[in-house]
Structure 1
Amino acid sequence: MITLTTADFDEQVLRSDKPVLVDFWAEWCPPCHMIAPVLEEIEAEHGLTVAKINTDENPAIQARYGVLSLPTLLLFENGQPVRQIVGAKPKRLLERDLGLA
Structure 2
Amino acid sequence: MAGANTLNFSDSAWDTEVLNSDKPVLVDFWAEWCGPCRMIAPTVDAVADEYNGKLKVGKLNVDDNGGTAMRYNVRGIPTLLLFKGGQIVEQRVGAVSKSDLVKMLEPHVS
User: For the superposition of Structure 1 and Structure 2, which TM-score range results when normalised by the shorter chain?
Assistant: over 0.9
Partner of 1:40: 45
| Residue 79 of structure 1 pairs with residue 86 of structure 2 | yes
For residue 54 of structure 1, report the CA deviation from its aligned partner: 0.4
CA distance in 1, matches of 2:106, 2:93: 15
CA RMSD in angstroms, aligned pairs only: 1.1
Q: What runs of 5+ residues in structure 2 fail to find an aligned partner?
A: 1-5
Instruction: Give the 5 Å matches for 1:1-80.
Output: 1-47=6-52, 48-80=55-87
1:17-50 Cα offsets, whole Å, 9 max, x none, are 0000000000110110111110111111123211
- Which of 90, 95, 109 aligns to 1:88? It is 95
Q: List 4+ stretches of structure 1 deviating above 6 A.
A: none
Which structure 1 residue ranges, 5 or more long, are not aligned?
none
Q: Between Structure 1 and Structure 2, how many residues are aligned?
A: 100
Amino acid at match of 1:22: V
Q: SS of the residue aligned with 1:6?
A: coil
Give TM-score, length-normalised by structure 2: 0.86
Percent identical pairs in the alignment equals 49
SS of residue paired to 2:106? coil
Greater shift, 14-23 or 41-50, is seen at 41-50
